[in-house]
């Protein structure tokens, strides 16, 4: 039961991680320009990029820790 729930969280975090990486705009506007342009939640572009980077790192940590835990079989 726990393994099944964690597997679904792992899949969801992988999908969210893909979208977060696609939102980054290192050199051009890209898809990140679409998300940050109409948002009033952020005060500046650098604030939006910093929040996006922090969220991406957190999602990556969740994804990798679940991948290691599920592949090692520690929950069985």
Question: Structure pTM?
Answer: 0.74
* Domains of the chain, residue spans: 2-24+40-72
pLDDT at 38: 53
H/E/C letters for each residue in the chain? CHHHHHHHHHHHHHHHHHHHHHHCCCCCCHHHHHHHHCCCCCCCHHHHHHHHHHHHHHHHHHHHHHHHHHHHCCCC
pLDDT at 68: 96
For 18-74, what is each residue's pLDDT tens digit? 999 999 876 655 565 665 555 555 566 788 888 999 999 999 999 999 999 999 989
What band does 6 get if pLDDT is binned at 50, 70 and 90?
very high
**Residues near 55 by Cβ (< 8 Å), separated by ≥ 6?**
20
pLDDT at 75: 87
């Amino acid at each position: 039961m726990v393994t099944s729930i964690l597997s679904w969280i792992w899949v969801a975090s992988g999908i969210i991680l893909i979208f977060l990486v696609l939102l980054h705009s290192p050199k051009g506007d890209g898809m990140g320009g679409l998300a940050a342009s109409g948002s009033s939640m952020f005060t500046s572009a650098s604030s939006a990029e910093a929040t996006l980077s922090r969220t991406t790192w957190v999602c990556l940590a969740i994804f990798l820790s679940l991948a290691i835990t599920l592949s090692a079989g520690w929950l069985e």
